[in-house]
Amino acid sequence: MPLHRSFDYLLPTELCSRAVAVGVRVSVPFGSRVLTGMVLKVKASTEMPEDKVKAVKAVLDSTAIIDDSHLQLLQFTARYYHYPLGETVFTALPKALREGADIDKTSINYLQLTEQGQQQPTLRAKKQQALLKQLAESGKSPTTEIKALGYSKATIDALINKELISQAVEFDSQWREQPLQVASKPRLNSEQAIACTTINQSPGFAAFLLEGVTGSGKTEVYLQCLEEVLQQGKQALVLVPEIGLTPQTVNRFRRRFPNTPIMLWHSALTDNERLQTWRFCQKGSCAIVIGTRSAIFMPFLRLGMIIVDEEHDASFKQQDTLRYHARDLAAYRAQQQNIPLVLGSATPALETLNRALSDKYQLLSLTQRAQTSSDNQFELIDIKGQHLEAGLSHSALAYIKRELARQKQVMVFLNRRGFSPSLICHECGWLSDCSRCSTSATYHKAMRRLVCHHCGEQSAPPMQCPDCGSTQINPVGLGTEQLQEALSEQFPDTPISRIDRDSTRRKGSLEEELAAINRGGARLLVGTQMLAKGHHFADVSLVIILDVDAGLYSCDFRATEHLAQLVTQVAGRAGRSGEPGTVLLQTHFPEHPLLQDLVNNGYQHFARYALQERHETEMPPFSHLALLRAEAHDLSLLLRFLSDLVPAAPVPKIQLLGPIPAPLERVAGKYRYQLHIQGQDRGALHGFLAQLMNYLGSNKLAQKVRWNLDVDPIDM
């Protein structure tokens, strides 16, 4: 369990000559180990008994590695999420710094075209030619990014030998002194222009919700806002969802600002690259950082704007240890730095929309697709009592035939991988449950394995029923693997691309599949979430969503919001090449008011209606939630632990619910229960949580169960 406190150390006289200040790292003894710590306060005395205070072993930095405002951000984060400050600081630092690395020792190698290379001479070696083209598009790029795109050291060395490309170790840190180069750009339409002007004219802190469907030109607005920020010599942070950080996105930024240092921040960087990127930002030699969630903790010399693209995306919320939401911290940071915050989405989170509708944020709408003006056609297919073929109704199959005949592509979306979610014995009803979790193990036919998607346990599918010995064991339910198999029987002449976590496990296989799709021509696309976001498929004219019903009746109050976002995002894959696409939703509940609203009036209308419903039921954002989750092998111990936390007398403005079982009551052999803590206002909630954390610090049971606190949880 993380320690919720800081520790006092003595500074030995021989180290006193070093300027020990807040933000400097030190080596300290801790128990029997030596750890890296950070100075949070310099005090003349301590309340600790003198013989108990240990001495600092070494001072690692000559000056603070983070400044006051950065420390404030981390202090706020620790307070808000009730997470230990020490752990928060170290979560936010690059690993190399946590391990005591010298802050200025690392370097990053870059590749760039030489003057000769810029002429793009024709080469016999295809890979070399491709790399020249790549560098023309991306500009000066870190060598590791280029290698990640599949270019070998041999290819790179060959071009260096031909003096067509060269290596550099520093980006031009003088970017501020040179005139900003801006590549040609489209003229903004009037909605975009209004958005851009409003954002750029904001004098200090202001938050904007840029609400616009996919393709309505949000990214173009970001780019033109960034131009203004760069003109003023300021830096910018662009947060994107994990799945959105593609070479296409990044190239678009680099192409627009060819002499501006733009760096990426994501989980695939090496420790060395992380440290260097972090340091470049801090020194101001990097102008724009495009990064996933944790980039919110990057230090900047002069931050001028924060942009959060697809702000509703769940990947902005960290789901373990420090459970922060990068978008929410972005709001704090923009306020702290007194700069604009731009949140963009086609399907804004209800929290964000509520702030926009109540005038805390400014709402900027882009209502037209920038290049085409086609709107997708939605249709609900009632599957009650219908015969389904591979999960598809007759009318859905007829639609597919029609589109394939027109050489179009059809996307079938099913958020369940594997062949079937379970195996069942036809004689006695035995189900292939996971032995360690309260869920079934998924049947993966190609692998011939039963796999639990929650704990990872695998076993061979039984030849005979373990209970009755019958050999009649059949798959129940539909996963993408089975869907692919069934569709290939229905449409034997049509190529099928399946995109899910199993089919794309091999490195490079996703890129190959996407390339095949983009070559065009009749094709079936089958996939999960992975298919829903970001990718641009020009030839998809029909999208079919198979399983909308689960989201309609769920115990999670956010399920309908997430369903509506998913449907809208998936639907956004259709009709991107000019003509309107068709979106079919198969459901047993075609009359359901949510579906009706979504299909007839779109997400924006649905979201406003859903907000009203949240208001009436006093759910977030009209109240504030925290979840205390706990797990243990021993159920009675677990229940005793949680029950003990519920105060005997009611607490004003606080509602406690629990202990109640988590949606999956048992995972990997452990029971999981939780307390819902709901506060009428943030102050009341945080006051209560602080007391709770204090109490947990001295609670004996708290050391025997695993627990965590999730403030503003996004799944229940």
Which one, 101 or 288, has the nearer CB to ligand ADP? 288
289 CB-near residues (< 8 Å, 6+ apart) = 235, 236, 237, 238, 262, 263, 264, 265, 277, 281, 295, 298
Q: Which partner, Zn ion, ligand ADP, none, binds residue 436 by CB below 5 to 8 Å per kind?
A: Zn ion
Residue 463 in 3-state DSSP?
A: coil
Q: Which partner, Zn ion, ligand ADP, none, binds residue 212 by CB below 5 to 8 Å per kind?
A: ligand ADP
Q: Which partner, Zn ion, ligand ADP, none, binds residue 437 by CB below 5 to 8 Å per kind?
A: Zn ion
Taken in order 205, 334, 225, 299, the sign of the CA dihedral is positive
Binders of ligand ADP: how many residues, by CB under 6 A?
A: 15
Which one, 266 or 454, has the nearer CB to Zn ion? 454
Which one, 61 or 220, has the nearer CB to ligand ADP? 220
Least Å distance, CB 695 to ligand ADP, is 47
Where do runs of H (alpha helix) occur along 358-501? 394-405, 480-490
* C-alpha distances out from residue 347 to 518, 524, 585, 713, Å: 26, 26, 18, 19
Which one, 373 or 703, has the nearer CB to ligand ADP? 373
Residue 220: φ, ψ to 5°: -65, -40
Say if residue 468 carries a ligand binding annotation: yes
Least Å distance, CB 372 to ligand ADP, is 9
- Binder to Zn ion among 205, 430, 609, 622 (CB under 5 A)? 430
Instruction: Mark the segment that binds Zn ion (CB under 5 A) among 151-159, 307-315, 453-461, 520-528.
Output: 453-461
Which one, 188 or 668, has the nearer CB to ligand ADP? 188
Residue 452 contacts Zn ion per CB under 5 A: yes
∠ CA 90-91-95, nearest 5°, is 75
Would you say 261 and 287 are in contact if contact means Cβ atoms under 8 Å apart? Answer: yes
Residue with tokens 């929650």: 454
Distance CA 186, CA 199 (A): 18
Q: Which partner, ligand ADP, Zn ion, none, binds residue 428 by CB below 5 to 8 Å per kind?
A: Zn ion
The tokens describing 461, both together, are 């599918």
Which one, 71 or 182, has the nearer CB to ligand ADP? 182
Distance CA 125, CA 175 (A): 34
Least Å distance, CB 454 to Zn ion, is 5
The tokens describing 95, both together, are 């690993």
- Binder to ligand ADP among 37, 117, 139, 217 (CB under 6 A)? 217
Distance CA 236, CA 253 (A): 12
Say if residue 555 carries a ligand binding annotation: no
Distance CA 278, CA 283 (A): 9
Q: Which partner, ligand ADP, Zn ion, none, binds residue 629 by CB below 5 to 8 Å per kind?
A: none
The tokens describing 456, both together, are 């990872």
Distance CA 703, CA 684 (A): 27
Instruction: Mark the segment that binds Zn ion (CB under 5 A) among 7-15, 444-452, 539-547, 575-583.
Output: 444-452
Residue 218 contacts ligand ADP per CB under 6 A: yes
Q: Which partner, ligand ADP, Zn ion, none, binds residue 677 by CB below 5 to 8 Å per kind?
A: none
Residue 214 contacts ligand ADP per CB under 6 A: yes
- The DSSP bridge partners found for residue 420 are 443
Least Å distance, CB 344 to ligand ADP, is 7
- Binder to Zn ion among 436, 445, 653, 704 (CB under 5 A)? 436
Residue 599: φ, ψ to 5°: -75, -40
Bridge pairing between strands 449-451 and 442-444? antiparallel
Other beta carbons less than 10 A from residue 688's beta carbon? 19
Closest CA to 666 of 455, 524, 478: 455
User: Which amino acid is it at 501?
Assistant: R
Least Å distance, CB 525 to ligand ADP, is 20
Say if residue 196 carries a ligand binding annotation: no
- Binder to ligand ADP among 370, 410, 567, 667 (CB under 6 A)? 370
Q: Which partner, Zn ion, ligand ADP, none, binds residue 218 by CB below 5 to 8 Å per kind?
A: ligand ADP
Where do runs of H (alpha helix) occur along 618-700? 635-645, 682-697
DSSP string of 535-599, one letter each residue: ---TTEEEEEE---HHHHS-SSTTHHHHHHHHHHHHHTTSS-SSSPPEEEEEES-TT-HHHHHHH
Which one, 620 or 663, has the nearer CB to Zn ion? 663
Could you tell me the end-to-end alpha-carbon distance of the chain, in angstroms, rounded to an integer? 22
Say if residue 225 carries a ligand binding annotation: no
The tokens describing 484, both together, are 């692919």
Which one, 94 or 217, has the nearer CB to ligand ADP? 217
Which one, 132 or 237, has the nearer CB to ligand ADP? 237
591 CB-near residues (< 8 Å, 6+ apart) = none
Convert residues 468-507 into a mask of x (bound to Zn ion by CB under 5 A) and - (unbound). Answer: x-x-------------------------------------
Residue 371 contacts ligand ADP per CB under 6 A: yes
DSSP code at position 440: B
- Binder to ligand ADP among 88, 91, 216, 393 (CB under 6 A)? 216
Residue 343 contacts ligand ADP per CB under 6 A: no
Residue 279: φ, ψ to 5°: -70, -40
Distance CA 145, CA 148 (A): 5
Say if residue 425 carries a ligand binding annotation: yes
Least Å distance, CB 371 to ligand ADP, is 5
Least Å distance, CB 441 to Zn ion, is 7
Q: Which partner, Zn ion, ligand ADP, none, binds residue 188 by CB below 5 to 8 Å per kind?
A: ligand ADP
Convert residues 176-205 into a mask of x (bound to ligand ADP by CB under 6 A) and - (unbound). Answer: ----------xxxx--x-------------
Residues forming contacts to ligand ADP in the complex (CB under 6 A) are: 186-189, 192, 212, 214-220, 370-371
Binding-site residue positions: 425, 428, 434, 437, 452, 455, 465, 468
Binding-site residue positions for Zn(2+): 425, 428, 434, 437, 452, 455, 465, 468
Residues forming contacts to Zn ion in the complex (CB under 5 A) are: 425, 427-428, 430, 434, 436-437, 452, 454-455, 457, 465, 467-468, 470
